[in-house]
Amino acid sequence: MIRDMIRLVPDDKRHILPRYFAAVLVLGVAQGLAYSALAPLLTAVFGGDLGTAWRWTIAIAVALVAVGIARYVQAMAGMLIGSAMMRDLRLRLGRHLGSLPLGWFSDNTAGKTSRVMMASTNEVLRVFAQLLTPLITAVLVPVTVAVAMLWVDWRVSLTMVITAPVLYLVNRVGNTLFAGATEAQHDAAARANEQVIEFAQAQPVLRVFGTDASHERQLMSSLQALRTAIRRALFASVPGLAVFTIVVQLTFMLLVWVVVALASDGDLTVPTAIALITVSSRFIEPLSQAADLSSAIRRAQVAARRINALLDAETIAEPAEPLSPAGSTLRFDGVTFGYGKNNRDDDDNTAVLHSVDFEAPAGTTTAVVGPSGSGKTTLLRLAARFYVPGQGGISIGGVDLAELGTDAALKQVSLVFQDVYLFDQSVMENIRVGRPGATDDEVFAAARVARVDEIVERLPDGWDTRVGEGGAALSGGERQRVSVARALLKDAPIVLLDEATSALDPQNEAAVVAGIRELTRDKTVVVVAHRLPTIRHADQILFLDAGQVVERGSHDELIALGGRYADFWDKRSTASGWRLEATTF
């Protein structure tokens, strides 16, 4: 627990930790000594030795002053650490999420991730400020009292020492039972989160297909599962807590019995016996307090483990000293890739791309065509370093992406993919995502080329209209136009383009085509092409089949070859009724 927590303390506050732990140490030992000093004090008072009683009173006062000072130092240090964690932890998690390979997000759903980001971080923030001190003093105080009692009566001290491991074990078993239920509660909450998000996002589809009721049932059943998990966690905490409380009280009774037995044998004077019973009650007090906090401590422990697991998720390796690309030629050399564990599954059976080689020279257009599922989009994702190839290398301007690093690689490319995600911000801010430092005029200029200004004229608040989560307030074609405007604003030398498969309405189609024509002018373009004019005019065409480039060349060369591409072209031209002379792209 403590090790898991220390990992979550921001680097710039780590130096406070020794002070924090030293204060907790002083606090626990001084408190234990103050309790222990009650024994000689009470013995002296009942024995009528007031001089000694005064000396012990002063000793207790000194110990209590030390407790006060240590409590102050510990509370201040705990607050500093806690508030620094509040400031830093979510940012740190956010940054880490941003550097994880995309494959991580397929295994870790939005529900799980948001649970760790929000609820788990809330649970660990209290630890240094509130939970850790009672947890540590619950060990330190009884140990100090047990050791100090050696000077008063070794048999009572021995009883305390013997009962300590029993108390520890009982507490540990109870906590283990409870920890399992807490983990289950955590998972159920993540699943319920996921269902709520999906239920809200999928409303349009659910209504169109009339399957609303079954999804509602799914949502209800995951909420029911969450309720059950919470109830189980609550019930799971009860036996451990009850048994621990009973064992603590039994320990107290055992100590009283030992003291009374010793007193009745004449081994202890009555004043010492009274003093030892008083100290025994203090011996168990911190244990009872820790038991009361045990459910919060367990929850924090599970939360800290989940957060650390997220922070341990392997990021894409970044170069220590990124190199700069010389030009904008994009090359794939023997690239094999599969969507396996860690995105590195390059086993030939599961690979999606097999030994893909090609060069897209600077300023040329490479069209990637092939049947559905042949790996076209995967090829673009690899070029944008969303994933790292299992074998082979990808380079921009002669520098391998691994040496270029993700940031520099992404600076070189503009992406226009089919699944456009817009943030629930204004149109203006959504375009500015392309280049965050761009001036308003630059945003307007890019928007004009992609004809986003026409869309804005119709929106209630113009440029300031919020587009809703995922861009829900805009049509698919309009979202494409915003995405082209983003890419225009970025103005990167390489353009990775996944052309829309579905036909847009004529107005959006014209706007998107015009925007893309401007975007791709003089750029290195790799396009997953669906429009025949795009394919026809490409400098080279790669025909992919089952992850392999089976044909390559210009349109005329491949038609002359009379192979897979020629066949594909024939079928597509006939299906679309397209005539070469009529195209303008």
Ligand X SMILES: Nc1ncnc2c1ncn2[C@@H]1O[C@H](COP(=O)(O)OP(=O)(O)OP(=O)(O)O)[C@@H](O)[C@H]1O
Positions in the binding site for ligand X (CB under 6 A):
106, 339, 352, 370, 372-378
- Starting from the edge strand earliest in sequence, which strands make up the sheet with 399-400, in order? 353-360, 330-337, 391-396, 399-400
Nearer to ligand X, 374 or 534 (CB): 374
Q: Name the minimum Å distance from CB 301 to ligand X.
A: 33
The rounded distance, in Å, linking the Cα atoms of 480 and 419 is: 9
Strands 391-396 and 330-337: antiparallel
Q: Name the minimum Å distance from CB 381 to ligand X.
A: 7
| Strand partners of residue 360 | 330
Tokens of 371: 């049947």
First to last CA, the chain: 62
Nearer to ligand X, 297 or 353 (CB): 353
DSSP state of 426: B
Nearer to ligand X, 145 or 500 (CB): 500
Tokens of 377: 């989009």
The rounded distance, in Å, linking the Cα atoms of 136 and 445 is: 62
Tokens of 555: 């349109």
Q: Name the minimum Å distance from CB 378 to ligand X.
A: 3
The rounded distance, in Å, linking the Cα atoms of 530 and 585 is: 13
| Strand partners of residue 393 | 333
Residue 214's H or E segment, with its range, is: helix 212-264
Handedness of CA 105, 352, 315, 332 (dihedral sign): negative
Nearer to ligand X, 354 or 490 (CB): 354
Nearer to ligand X, 239 or 373 (CB): 373
Judge contact between 514 and 449, C-beta under 8 A: yes
The rounded distance, in Å, linking the Cα atoms of 360 and 83 is: 51
Q: Name the minimum Å distance from CB 377 to ligand X.
A: 3
Q: Name the minimum Å distance from CB 372 to ligand X.
A: 3
Q: Name the minimum Å distance from CB 557 to ligand X.
A: 22
Q: Name the minimum Å distance from CB 380 to ligand X.
A: 8
Task: Determine the length of the chain.
Answer: 585
The rounded distance, in Å, linking the Cα atoms of 472 and 470 is: 6
Nearer to ligand X, 390 or 397 (CB): 390
Nearer to ligand X, 333 or 545 (CB): 545
Nearer to ligand X, 35 or 417 (CB): 417
The candidate with the shortest Cα–Cα distance to 301, out of 188, 190, 172, 179, is: 179
Using only the alpha carbons of the chain, give its radius of gyration. Answer: 35
Q: Name the minimum Å distance from CB 370 to ligand X.
A: 6
198-212 burial: b if 16+ Cβ within 10 Å, else e: bbeeeeeebeeeeee
Q: Name the minimum Å distance from CB 365 to ligand X.
A: 18
Nearer to ligand X, 108 or 377 (CB): 377
| Strand partners of residue 526 | 366, 496
Nearer to ligand X, 15 or 341 (CB): 341
Q: Name the minimum Å distance from CB 578 to ligand X.
A: 19
